[in-house]
Amino acid sequence: MTGKYPGWEIMEGAGGGYIAYRTVLVPGHSRLSNVRCGATMKELFERLEQEVRSEKRRSAAEGSPERAA
């Protein structure tokens, strides 16, 4: 299931839950996350889906003609 999120490593948290972290960090000003956590794997995957949607919106905005002007 982790293959669905390339660029992310997933591990169990020491106190329970799960942690996903980027294998290549993004800068702080990018408004994207380098680490996402969830109490369950389902919750973590939901948060990673949010991150993927944010990345797609950011990529689309960077490629829009209004941004180039």
* Domain tally, the chain: 1
pLDDT value, residue 53? 93
- Find the distance separating the first CA and the last CA of the chain, reported in whole Å: 41
With CA atoms as reference, report the closest residue to 47 among 19, 6, 9: 19
pLDDT score of 67: 46
- Residue 69: per-residue pLDDT: 42
Predicted confidence (pLDDT) per residue in 24-65, tens digit? 999 989 889 999 999 999 999 999 999 999 988 888 888 755
Is 68 part of any domain? no
At 1 the pLDDT is 54
Please report whether residue 21 resides in a domain: yes
Would 37 be classed as within a structural domain?
yes
For tokens 């660029």, the residue is 7
Domain span at 7? 2-62
Question: Is 53 within a domain?
Answer: yes
Position 69 in a domain? no
In a domain, 67, yes or no: no
